[in-house]
Amino acid sequence: MSEGIAIVENQGVIEIHIDRPDKKNALTAAMYRTMTAALADASARADIGVVLFAGKGDAFCAGNDLKDFMAGPEGGEAAFDFIRAIAAFDKPVVAAVQGLAVGVGTTMLFHCDLVYATSDARFITPFVNLGIVPEAGASLLAPATFGYAKAASMLLLGEPMDAQTADRAGFVTAIVPVDGLLDHARQKAAALMAKPPQALAATRRLMKGDLATLNQRIEEEARLFRETLASPEAQEAFAAFFEKRPPVFRR
């Protein structure tokens, strides 16, 4: 457990609530470690069949807490460990998404099986804007999900994708009212729990397919992420962010 993450068990479902609403649920290294540990616990336990991710307040997740992230390498390594854990997780994952889903708040959803979103959900991947590269296999999965042109608008321009576009693209399972979001996600998690577990697991493995290419891309992204994070471009982008000014990049 850590401040900012609440874990709830409910009839075979582990719910991981990102609980830092005053910071739009931005993630710290400690929060990443708690979520990674919760996934490991859920994977190891025969009585747990589903994991449900949700965010408290009016945002799902604003991505990395940049101050925590820039404080040292611990934040980056904790984030990469979480990404590896959710990509490799062997049981169904449900997500309830409202408001902002920024950075890893969007890319983690590629590894969820069912994603329910409110109409105000906004999916934003501003990696290039910060002088860095995408993570969680997004450079592979976004073009495969949205098509190259839509993925380019997100990953190259950093333009938001609204819930309706995400729904049409198949990134979102359904759009649901905000006041019923968590209940709806819980109902679907309970429905998964009622399925025959071996058939469910086998079908999920078939749908996911061979993960070797995805895992290779995740590691390649992680290597480039570390390199770009130390670059003059990233240093300027982060400085401009904290100083609330437009960045100036040299060619």
The string of pLDDT tens digits covering residues 135-164 is 999 999 999 999 999 999 999 999 999 999
Q: Which residue has the tokens 């296999």?
A: 137
Report DSSP letters for 100-145, one per residue: EEETHHHHGGGG-SEEEE-TT-EEE--TGGGT----TTHHHHHHHH
**Predicted pLDDT at 1:** 58
**How would you label 67-102 residue by residue, b for 16+ Cβ within 10 Å and e otherwise?**
ebbbeeeebbebbbbbbbbbbebebbbbbbbbbbbb
The lowest-confidence range among 71-80, 182-191, 227-236, 238-247 is: 71-80
Average pLDDT of the residues in 118-144: 97
- All structural domains of the chain: 5-197 (3.90.226.10)
- Beta-strand relationship, 122-124 and 161-162: antiparallel
Average pLDDT of the residues in 49-59: 98
Contacts of residue 170, Cβ cutoff 8 Å, sequence gap at least 6: 145
Give first-to-last CA distance, the chain, whole Å. 45
- The full 3-state SS of 10-47, as one line of letters, equals ECCEEEEEECCHHHCCCECHHHHHHHHHHHHHHHHCCC
pLDDT band at 209 (very low <50, low <70, confident <90, very high): very high
Q: Are 94 and 183 in contact (CB under 8 A)?
A: no
Q: Which residues is 10 bridged to in the sheet?
A: 13
- pLDDT, tens digit (0-9, with 9 covering 90-100), for 65-105: 988 877 766 778 999 999 999 999 999 999 999 999 999 99
Give the residue, 6 or 68, on which the prediction is more confident.
6
